[in-house]
Amino acid sequence: MANVAVVGAQWGDEGKGKIVDWLSNRADVVVRFQGGHNAGHTLVVGDKTYKLSLLPSGVVQGKPSVIGNGVVVDPWALLDEIARIEGQGVAIGPELLTLADNACLILPIHRDLDAAREAAAGAGKIGTTGRGIGPAYEDKVGRRAVRVADLADPAALETKIARLLAHHQALRRGLDLPDINADALLATLKEVAPKVLPFARPAWKMLDDVRRAGKRVLFEGAQGALLDVDHGTYPYVTSSNTVAGQAAAGSGLGPRSVGFVLGIVKAYTTRVGEGPFPTELFDDDGKRLGERGREFGTVTGRPRRCGWFDAVLVRQSIAINGIDGVALTKLDVLDGFPTLKVCIGYKVGDRVLDYLPAGMADQAAATPVYEEMEGWSESTYGARSWKDLPAAAVKYVRRIEELTGAPVSLLSTSPERDDTILMRDPFEG
């Protein structure tokens, strides 16, 4: 039996929440390995809709769940989310949720800095969620972050805050923000500490025990590969590595434990925030995709930009992530389009490229080369069998497989958990 890593293969919002929820039935432990509460997963179970940001999707199934060391954690946001999900009838205690004691914290000063820098950037803004994710990762690599374990050591916490503020006070003055009161920040952290620490433990050790026991681990990624800080459309990216390789580093398990890599791919393309988007549509087709797909951010509520399927970008993601199989989502949103388009290359000046170049100017100049396909008028909504799909929809899926170079392992036809067609079980390798 293989472990499975689930990653987004576009710009996020591909429907990972539903797929992870569906797969968690077959897993023993679910691990979130990067990002923060800027990424949202929506799970629809019966008549209930769960919106998760920090909590791994496994909590809804009652599966032991881990927030790994690769995640930056806003402790107040975490506690609010726990309370909200418990209000929906899901009990979340330390026996269910493990918080890596070496994970770094997002503090109020990170949120302040995030918002102030975006406001100061004007037309050059990146489009962050303003939740402090980037500044928290900056402090992590700058070796001045406060970590979960520090909450248990008031003396160390005081020293860490002094070091942190030596950096932040200068930044704040440059942005006309008031100085931070160190004593007030320390008091705030001491207040939240007893609420967070019951969940804290060495996650790597717990996961090593799971591995040795032969249990199955589901690694849950956030956002998408095209937002990866190294491999995405830089600088319009997130501040962490979102690719499958991060599942090992962000959880504390070695790379051989990652197992089957499942890439989540929407049947069209969406993006939130700023940055290049070659297949973006500004016409009625784009509006229709957004309305039918209910394309609004889970966390921010911002409308998503919509466009045709980009096989070039997905093929690139498949290579970078080592994707073994694809979960194709939201096929039903394409119902009723008489003609569908798929991007198979880019024109950049007098060149035709089969990949997205790294340079900002080339990315902005890339225009799609399209292949047109026949659409279908029948409904695919809720289909649970390959034979329930119209012939044109089957042809569309098969063409995506050919163009991206990866087989479709799962096909999702609605937000409902059980409206999923299984072609290949990722846990079977």
Give the tens place of pLDDT for each residue, 79-111: 999 999 999 999 999 999 999 999 999 999 999
Please tell me the pTM assigned to this model. 0.92
Instruction: Check the CA dihedral 207-208-211-215 and report its sign.
Output: negative
| Residue listed under structure tokens 């119902």 | 335
pLDDT at 135: 94
pLDDT at 283: 95
Residue 286 pLDDT greater than 90, yes or no: yes
pLDDT at 1: 55
| Residue listed under structure tokens 């390789």 | 245
Mind listing the pLDDT tens digit for each residue in 264-281?
999 999 998 889 999 999
pLDDT at 47: 81
Q: How confident is the model at residue 411 (pLDDT cuts 50, 70, 90)?
A: very high
pLDDT at 206: 96
Range 16-28 average pLDDT? 88
Mind listing the pLDDT tens digit for each residue in 192-224?
999 999 999 999 999 999 999 999 999 999 899
Q: How confident is the model at residue 297 (pLDDT cuts 50, 70, 90)?
A: low
Mind listing the pLDDT tens digit for each residue in 370-391?
999 999 999 999 999 999 999 9
Concerning whether 139 is annotated as a catalytic residue, the answer is: no
pLDDT at 300: 64
The two tokens of residue 243 are: 């690719």
More confident residue, 401 or 22: 401
Range 399-415 average pLDDT? 95
Q: How confident is the model at residue 72 (pLDDT cuts 50, 70, 90)?
A: very high
Q: How confident is the model at residue 312 (pLDDT cuts 50, 70, 90)?
A: very high
- Whole-angstrom distance, CA of residue 128 vs CA of residue 3: 32
Concerning whether 110 is annotated as a catalytic residue, the answer is: no
Greatest mean pLDDT range, 1-10, 42-51, 120-129, 185-194 = 185-194
Residue among 321, 217, 226 at smallest CA distance from 266: 226
Range 313-335 average pLDDT? 97
Measured CA angle at 357 (ends 352, 361), to 5 deg:
95
Mean pLDDT value across the chain: 93
Residue 120 pLDDT greater than 90, yes or no: no
Q: How confident is the model at residue 15 (pLDDT cuts 50, 70, 90)?
A: confident
Q: How large is the C-alpha radius of gyration of the chain?
A: 22
Whether 194 and 206 have beta carbons less than 8 Å apart is answered as: no
pLDDT at 110: 95
Percent of the chain whose predicted confidence (pLDDT) is above 90: 80
From residue 391, alpha-carbon distances to 203, 337, 407 in Å are 47, 14, 18
Catalytic residue among 37, 41, 168, 231: 41
Range 404-422 average pLDDT? 92
What 3-state DSSP class applies to 100? strand
Range 161-176 average pLDDT? 93
- Whole-angstrom distance, CA of residue 68 vs CA of residue 349: 44
Q: How confident is the model at residue 117 (pLDDT cuts 50, 70, 90)?
A: confident
pLDDT at 416: 85
pLDDT at 298: 61
Q: How confident is the model at residue 20 (pLDDT cuts 50, 70, 90)?
A: confident
